[in-house]
Copies of this chain bind each other. A is one copy, B any other.
Amino acid sequence: MLKIGKLTDYGVLILSTLAEQPAVLRQTEGLAESTGLSLPTTRKVMKALTDAGLVQAQRGAKGGYRLARAASMISLRDVVEAFEGPIALTECTQDEHGCDITEQCSLADGWGGINQLLMQMLARVTLADVKDPTIVDRLTQGLMMGSPRISLVNL
């Protein structure tokens, strides 16, 4: 179904909740309540976000989580990669691994291109935009701006 994992989805939701008050520490329990997620699941999500360096954890009493950097500096690509690893639509996209039939296949470049575009799309949407109803338009605009060649290389 070409879908992202639920945990990834939850991650974005929680992050966007944190983005509402970037300064304050939010506890797991409160986040679970705000989002409607169960507590254990929320824990799991928070751990992944912490490991990926997207949130800062403050341990001990009066602890909690807060965004590790500005909402506009956290993209959907960051979140997706935090939960699902590198974005690679096909096996061959990732570090020259290649699949069993790479020799007979001439599509690696094609998929690679799609993959880069997809990453570019995700990289352009940040926590600051994700609720904005005009992102679709802005994204389309965004993709037409900037030199594709260069940004593709730098992804």
Contacts and interface: CB of A to CB of B under 8 A. Distances in A.
A88 B2 contact: yes
A136 B121 contact: no
Main secondary structure of the interface of A (DSSP, over half): helix
A149 B141 CA distance: 12
Interface string A83-110: 0111111110000000111011111011
A136 to B, nearest CB: 4
Q: Which of A37, A99, A110 has the most CB of B within 10 A?
A: A110
Interface of A: 1-4, 6, 9, 12-13, 16, 34-37, 76, 80, 84-91, 99-101, 103-107, 109-111, 113-114, 116-118, 121-122, 125, 129-133, 135-137, 139-140, 143-144, 148-149, 152
